[in-house]
Amino acid sequence: MGKRHGESLVNKNNIMSELNLPSYLDQSEQVKDRFERMKKRPVTLQVKGLHKEFETPQGKVIALKDINFETYKREFVCVIGPSGCGKSTLIRILAGLETPTSGEVLLDGTAVTDPGPDRGMVFQGYTLFPWLTVKKNVMFGLEMAGHGNKNSEEQALQWIDLVGLSKFANSYPHQLSGGMKQRVAIARALANQPRILLMDEPFGALDAQTRAKMQSYLHEIWKNIDVTILFITHDLDEAVYLADRVLVLKAHPGEVQEVIEVPVPQPRSPDQLLSPEFLATKRRLEELIHPPEEEEGINEDKMNMVRMVDVNNEVESVF
Amino acid sequence: MFSKLFAVRKKLDSKQRIYFSILSFLTPLIIWSLISYVPFVWHPKVEITEPGDVVYFTQGMLIDREIFDREVETTRSEEKVIPQGLPANPIYLPAPHEVATALYTAFTTEPKRRSEKWLHESLWDSVQVIFWGFLISSIFGVPLGILAGTYDVFSRLFEPFVEFFRYLPAPAFGALAVAILGIHEAPKIAIIFIGTFFQQVLVISNTTRKLDPSLLEAAMTLGAKRLSLLFRVVIPGIITHLFKDLRILLGWAWTYLIVAELIGTSSGITWFITQQARYKNFDNVYAAIIIIGIIGLTTDIILATLGKKIFPWEKGTAKA
C-alpha cells in the first residue's frame, strides 16, 4: 500500500513533466527586463549569515543555518519550505521578536535588534485586539508613534477604506469573519507605513475561496503602496502566484536551497494559474520540497492500512 | 426529547434554561417543605397540645417521640389522662412559611435591648466590613497580581511568599488583629483582607499570564514599548477576566465575614445570628442566612450585568 502511495506522487511528477513545460529558468524578455530593473532598486532588507540555535532537552537544534538573502525596494518575496525549515523563526527574527545566535539583519542599512513599527507584521493567528473596534485597532500603531487622536483617526479611516471595511470601522473583531480580520490586520500594519511588511502564513487559517480573494486583495494593495513584502507560506500555488522571487528553504537545518525568480509576468491574475511558466515554477518547487528520493523516508510513517471491508460488501471496490 | 436534554456541552433553549434555573431553587424548597409539612417524614419530636397527667409536660413543649410514647403507655396503664401531641420537627428546623414570615418580621421587630441594633443596621455593618476589606485588598492585590503576571521579576519577588502566606488560615490572625487594631471594625476588616489579598494576587497573576502572547507581539511590532504594553495591551487584554475573578473573590470575602465578625466585639449579621440562636429564634437565624445569600447573589448579578455594559467586546472573547 505504501508503495502505491509513493507511486501516486511519482505519477503526479511524471504528469507534470510529461506536460512538456518550459524550464522555470526561461524568462520572457519582459520578465527578464523587470527583474533587471528590480535588482537596480535599493536593497530594503539584507540578511547576512543568519544562524539560530535552540536549546532543547534533547540537545541543540539548529533552526537556521547561514541564511543570506536580500530584498529590493517594493519587491514581493515569498519564503517557502517544508515544516521544520525554520521559516517562522526566520520571520520572527526579522520582526525582532527573536534574536539570532549569530549573523545580522539590516533594514535600509540599519541593524534590527528589537520589534519596531518600521517592520509591520501580520500573524497567522488573529491578533487584533479584541477590546478595540476596527478603527481603534488600526489607530493603535499611529497613537504609539505619537500622532494625535484626530490625525490617527483620519489616517486609520483611510486605511480601513483601502481594505474595503469602512462599514465595519466601529465593529469589534469578534463580529468579523476570518478574512475580514486579516484585512484589518494588514491595514493596521500598513498604517505605520513600514519599510517592509512581514506576513507569517497570514491566510493559512482561511478557506480556499477566501484565501484566493485575499491573495488578489494583497496584490492590489502591494501594487499601490510603497512597501516591500516578505510572505511566508507552505502553499506552492500561493508562493508562485504572489511572489517576484521565492526563497526556498530546506529543513534540518534550515538553509536556503534556492532563490527562484518567478517567470510569470506581472501583474498577476488567476488566469495565469495554468500558464506554462506558472506550472514550470510550481514543478520546480514541488521537486525541491518533495524530492522523489525522499519517498523511501516517508515509508517510516506510512499508515498500516489493511482491507477492512467485508468480502461480501455490496461495493466490491470503490474504483 | 430526553437525549436532547443530556446533549454534552450543548445549550438548552432559553425556555428550558429558565425552567431549570427555577427548578434549582425549587428542589431544595420542595425537600424542605416535604420534611416540614408531611407528618410521617422525619418529625422526630412531639409538640404537646394537652399535657394530660404527665407532671413535667407543658403545653407547646417539644419532646422526643420515644419519651412521649412511653409516657402515653404509662398513663394508659395507670388509667390516668393520656397526653395529646402532634408530630413536630426539632426547633432548629422551622418550616418554610415560618422563615418566610421571619424574613419580614426580623426587620420590623424591635431589638430586645435598647443598645442592640436592628437587623438592617447589623446588615449595613456587615456590608461595610466586606466593602472595606475587599476594597483595601483589591487596591493592593490587583496591581501586584498584574505586575507579577507581566514581569517575571515581580513574579519571583511576590509569589513565593504569597504562596506560603495563603496557607495560613485568616482566622488564625484574629487574636493578633485584635491586639493590634482594637476590638471594633478594624480587626474584622483585617481578617477579610488577609483572607482575600493573598488569593487575589495569585489568581490575578495567573489570569494575567493567560493573555495571548501573540497580542503582545503584535503590539510590539506596532511600536508599543514597556509601559504602553502594560497599559494599552496587558490591562485591557485581561480586564474582562479580571472582573470575573473579582466577582468570585468577592464571594470568598463573604465566607470570611462570619469568622471576622466573631472577632473582638461580635457585630453585624453574625451578631444577629448568634443572638437569635441564643433566643432560639431559629426562623430568624435562617432568615438572616438567606439574606446573606440574597445580598451575595444580587451583587453578583448586578456586577455581571454591569460587566456586559462596560465591556462590549466581552461576548467575543468568551467565544475565543
- The three-point CA angle A309-A312-A318 to 5° equals 50
Q: Say if residue B31 is in the same domain as residue B113.
A: no
Q: Say if residue B132 is in the same domain as residue B236.
A: yes
- Is the pLDDT higher at A29 or at B182? B182
Q: Which three cell numbers stand for residue B81?
A: 389522662
Instruction: Assess if residue B235 is contained within a domain.
Output: yes
Question: Chain A residues with CB inside 8 Å of B215's CB?
Answer: 127, 129
- Is the pLDDT higher at A118 or at A299? A118
* Range of weakest confidence among A9-13, A49-53, B218-222: A9-13
What's residue A287's pLDDT? Answer: 83
Nearest to B236 among A114, A131, A172 (CB): A131
What's residue A205's pLDDT? Answer: 85
Residue A258, phi then psi, degrees to nearest 5 = -165, 150
What's residue A267's pLDDT? Answer: 82
Supply the range of the domain harboring residue B83: 45-88
Instruction: Assess if residue B144 is contained within a domain.
Output: yes
Cell 537556521 -> residue: A64
Of these ranges, A192-206, B118-132, B133-147, the one predicted with the greatest mean pLDDT is: B133-147
Question: Chain B residues with CB inside 8 Å of A171's CB?
Answer: none
Q: Say if residue B147 is in the same domain as residue B166.
A: yes
What's residue B319's pLDDT? Answer: 41
- Is the pLDDT higher at A5 or at B22? B22
- Count the neighbouring beta carbons within 10 Å of the beta carbon of residue A96: 21
d(CA B312, CA A195): 35
Percent of chain B predicted with pLDDT > 90: 58
Cell 517575571 -> residue: B152
In chain B, positions 8-67, which contact chain A (CB-CB < 8 Å)? none
For residue B6, what pLDDT band results from cuts at 50, 70 and 90? confident
Percent of chain A predicted with pLDDT > 90: 29
Instruction: Give the closest residue to B107 by CA, choosing from B94, B121, B96, B93.
Output: B121
Once rounded to an integer, what is the mean pLDDT over residues A50-55? 88
At A94-147, the pLDDT tens digits run: 999 998 888 889 898 888 888 988 999 999 888 999 999 999 999 999 999 988
Q: Which residue of B has its CA nearest to A136?
A: B232
DSSP-derived secondary structure for chain B: -HHHHT-TT-PPPHHHHHHHHHHHHHHHHHHHHHHHH-TTSS--EEEEEE-TT-TT--TT-EEEHHHHHHHHHHHHHTT-PPPEEEEE--TTS--HHHHHHHHHHHHHSPPSSTTSPPHHHHHHHHHHHHHHHHHHHHHHHHHHHHHHHH-HHHHHHHHHHHHHHTTS-GGGGHHHHHHHH-SSHHHHHHHHHHHHHHHHHHHHHHHHHTS-HHHHHHHHHTT--HHHHIIIIIHHHHHHHHHHHHHHHHHHHHHHHHHHHHSSS--HHHHHHHHHHHTT-HHHHHHHHHHHHHHHHHHHHHHHHHHHHH-TTHHHHHH-
Residue B1 exposed, middle or buried by CB count within 10 Å (0-12, 13-18, 19+): exposed
User: A174, B313: Cβ pair inside 8 Å?
Assistant: yes
Q: Say if residue B203 is in the same domain as residue B294.
A: yes
Checking if the pLDDT of A2 tops 50, the result is no
Cell 409516657 -> residue: B71
Q: Say if residue B127 is in the same domain as residue B214.
A: yes
Q: Say if residue B32 is in the same domain as residue B50.
A: no
Strand partners, A48: A104
| Mean pLDDT value across chain A | 84
Instruction: Assess if residue B72 is contained within a domain.
Output: yes
Q: Which residue of B has its CA nearest to A145?
A: B223
At A67-84, the pLDDT tens digits run: 889 999 999 999 998 877
Q: What strands lie across the sheet with B45-50, from one edge to the other?
A: B62-64, B45-50, B84-88
For residue A278, what pLDDT band results from cuts at 50, 70 and 90? confident
Q: Say if residue B73 is in the same domain as residue B153.
A: no
Q: Which residue of A has its CA nearest to B316?
A: A174
Residue B169 maps to which CATH number? 1.10.3720.10
Instruction: Assess if residue B199 is contained within a domain.
Output: yes
Q: What strands lie across the sheet with A245-250, from one edge to the other?
A: A119-122, A196-200, A228-233, A76-80, A245-250, A255-261
Q: Say if residue B262 is in the same domain as residue B297.
A: yes
Checking if the pLDDT of A4 tops 90, the result is no
What's residue A6's pLDDT? Answer: 46
Once rounded to an integer, what is the mean pLDDT over residues A219-241? 89
0.95 surpassed by pTM: no
Question: Chain A residues with CB inside 8 Å of B226's CB?
Answer: none
- Is the pLDDT higher at B193 or at B6? B193
- Is the pLDDT higher at B2 or at B220? B220
Instruction: Assess if residue B112 is contained within a domain.
Output: yes
What's residue B320's pLDDT? Answer: 37
Q: Say if residue B213 is in the same domain as residue B232.
A: yes
Percent of chain B predicted with pLDDT > 70: 98
Question: Chain A residues with CB inside 8 Å of B221's CB?
Answer: 95-97, 115-117, 119-121, 189, 198
For residue A317, what pLDDT band results from cuts at 50, 70 and 90? confident
Which domains occur in chain A, in start order? 2-118+228-300 (3.40.50.300)
CA distance B119 to chain A (A): 43
Instruction: Assess if residue B102 is contained within a domain.
Output: no
Torsion angle defined by CA atoms of residues B243, B248, B252 and B257, in that order, rounded to the nearest 10 degrees: 60
User: A115, B312: Cβ pair inside 8 Å?
Assistant: no
Cell 504569597 -> residue: B162
User: A131, B217: Cβ pair inside 8 Å?
Assistant: no
User: B221, A95: Cβ pair inside 8 Å?
Assistant: yes
Q: Which three cell numbers stand for residue A150?
A: 484626530
What's residue A12's pLDDT? Answer: 52
What's residue A3's pLDDT? Answer: 45
Question: Chain B residues with CB inside 8 Å of A172's CB?
Answer: 312-313, 316
What's residue A299's pLDDT? Answer: 54
Checking if the pLDDT of B111 tops 90, the result is no
- What count of Cα atoms within 13 Å lies in the side-chain half-sphere of residue B91? 13
d(CA B277, CA B285): 6
Instruction: Assess if residue B300 is contained within a domain.
Output: yes
Nearest to A140 among B222, B225, B237 (CB): B222
| Mean pLDDT value across chain B | 90
What SS3 state is found at A139?
Answer: helix
Domain count, chain B: 3
Once rounded to an integer, what is the mean pLDDT over residues B166-184? 90
CA distance B311 to chain A (A): 8
User: A141, B236: Cβ pair inside 8 Å?
Assistant: no
At B35-92, the pLDDT tens digits run: 999 988 889 999 999 888 888 888 888 999 999 999 999 998 988 888 999 999 998 9
Once rounded to an integer, what is the mean pLDDT over residues A42-50? 89
Q: Say if residue B195 is in the same domain as residue B259.
A: yes
Once rounded to an integer, what is the mean pLDDT over residues B184-192? 92
Checking if the pLDDT of A175 tops 80, the result is yes
The alpha carbon of B284 is separated from its chain's Cα centroid by a whole number of angstroms, namely: 17
Q: Say if residue B208 is in the same domain as residue B266.
A: yes
Longest dimension (CA), chain A: 76
Question: Chain B residues with CB inside 8 Å of A120's CB?
Answer: 221-222
What's residue A148's pLDDT? Answer: 87
Checking if the pLDDT of B277 tops 70, the result is yes
Q: Say if residue B185 is in the same domain as residue B223.
A: yes
What's residue B54's pLDDT? Answer: 87
For residue A17, what pLDDT band results from cuts at 50, 70 and 90? low
Checking if the pLDDT of A284 tops 60, the result is yes
Q: Which residue of B has its CA nearest to A94?
A: B221
At B82-108, the pLDDT tens digits run: 899 999 999 899 999 999 999 999 888
Instruction: Assess if residue B161 is contained within a domain.
Output: yes
At A52, which helix (H) or strand (E)? strand A43-56
Checking if the pLDDT of B194 tops 80, the result is yes
